[in-house]
Amino acid sequence: MSIELRKHIEEITPVSDDEFDYILSHFRKKKLKKHQFLVQENNEVLNDHYVIKGLLKAYYTNDEGKEHILQFAMENWWVTDYQAHFKKEKATINIDCLEDCEILCLSLENREKLCSELQKIEHFFRIKSNFGYVALQRRILSLLDKDAKGRYEQLMELYPTLLQRVPKTILASYLGVSRETLSRLS
Amino acid sequence: MSIELRKHIEEITPVSDDEFDYILSHFRKKKLKKHQFLVQENNEVLNDHYVIKGLLKAYYTNDEGKEHILQFAMENWWVTDYQAHFKKEKATINIDCLEDCEILCLSLENREKLCSELQKIEHFFRIKSNFGYVALQRRILSLLDKDAKGRYEQLMELYPTLLQRVPKTILASYLGVSRETLSRLS
DNA sequence: GATTTTTTGTGAGGTAGGTCACACTTAAGA
DNA sequence: TCTTAAGTGTGACCTACCTCACAAAAAATC
């Protein structure tokens, strides 16, 4: 059960059996079917979410109804509306399942509790956040520097499995390209 | 001296006089003139940098020699090549001063030392990193959703002082627009 | 304060990528 | 298995933004 999470944490810091059990007791398991929402606009965002199984998209919908995907989340990724979650605001994005999902939910309170009780967990989340920051910087550079084709190729290289799991229409709105243009790329 | 840093830290967690002195002793002060480099491509990136005074740009230069600004850094901001810094790789970006600068340098070793010795510092950096992550997500959304004018207006709204301090040519390469286009915006 | 460098504005013309429309294919429900 | 929905490809046309070029204004440097 949830060995994935343990392996995930131990990529950054070792934890004993007891520690891990204790950590895990702060999570709540949740199962969602394809098309179900994990986070919905205007709602409170009490939890961060660790993906055990499945695939989700986190996306912003603008006034004209156009969707922009902020991130995908698959196995071993974390996803929530971080702006809303950290600042206790209402969600401005939606997150829904592209596949049936199995999720571990961690409330802000439980995260802070764990972080203050177990420094290694605070350490874990700091390092995680640092890496996340770097990943976003790379995406910004990609958006600034590369054209549609370049961004697509970079995405395929980084996450080749995504192609098999996500329709191109949706990839397009991650890349910031129209689906027609993506379809026309050599 | 460096009351700014203390205030900066205390936006997230209180520190005693002794604690602060101890923390500060892990930083090294550095002064740089306009046009000097803080980080240079292909070099090691031993330090993160807290800006006491001045303004810098961190930018990537692509094969055609085009510059893309990853971030600005002014008073109370942190800046380095985080990818290179955290992963101990060579820098892929340059950071140089747009004004004369006063900087506090924190080596990776000293950061980790402080974090392990003082949990409140680990806490501080975790929270900081979380907020940074959210800010980058906002910028990604801006790049995906807004046109040149919209991005420019959002930037002016977020950092009105930047306009007074940075030539538009340089703002353009932050926004991902040519300087001519920026100049033509209404 | 004269001179070089940096920054800005503006025209002309080109192009990557957007939108709209329609047809075809594949997958999902009932 | 039939029916509806979701995803894809392609043409025609449009537009936001790019590049190149030149000139004027403003700053920096000696």
Report pLDDT digits (tens) over A100-156.
Answer: 999 999 999 999 999 999 999 999 999 999 999 999 999 999 999 999 999 999 999
**Total domains, chain B:** 1
A44-89, pLDDT tens digit by residue?
999 999 999 999 999 999 999 999 999 999 999 999 999 999 999 9
CA angle B84, B90, B91 (to 5 degrees): 65
Sign of CA dihedral B132, B133, B135, B140: positive
- Determine, yes or no, domain membership for B153: no
Q: Are A62 and A135 spatial neighbours (Cβ–Cβ below 8 Å)?
A: no
User: Would residue A135 count as lying in a domain?
Assistant: yes
Strand C CB shell (< 7 Å): A 34-35, 66, 147-149, 176-178, 180-181; B 167-170, 179-180, 183-184
The verdict on residue A151 lying in a domain is no
| Start-to-end C-alpha separation, chain B | 44
Nearest CA in chain A to B117: A119
Answer whether residue B58 is part of any domain: yes
Residue B44: count of CB within 10 angstroms of its CB: 14
Nearest nucleotide to the CA of A170, by C1', is: D7
Range of the domain at B130: 3-145
Does residue B83 form part of some domain?
A: yes
In a domain, A36, yes or no: yes
Residue A90 contacts B where some CB pair is shorter than 8 Å:
no
Mean pLDDT of B65-91: 97
The CATH number of the domain holding residue B95 is 2.60.120.10
Q: Is residue B21 part of a domain?
A: yes
Residue with tokens 């004369």: B100
Q: Which of A134, A139, A154 to mutate to test the interface with B (most CBs of B within 10 A)?
A: A134
Residue A38 lies in a domain: yes
CA atoms within 13 A on the CB side of B123: 19
Phi and psi (nearest 5°) for B55?
-150, 135
A41 φ, ψ (degrees, to nearest 5): -45, 140
Nearest chain A alpha carbon to B67: A145
Percent of chain B with pLDDT over 90: 97
Once rounded to an integer, what is the mean pLDDT over residues B58-70? 95
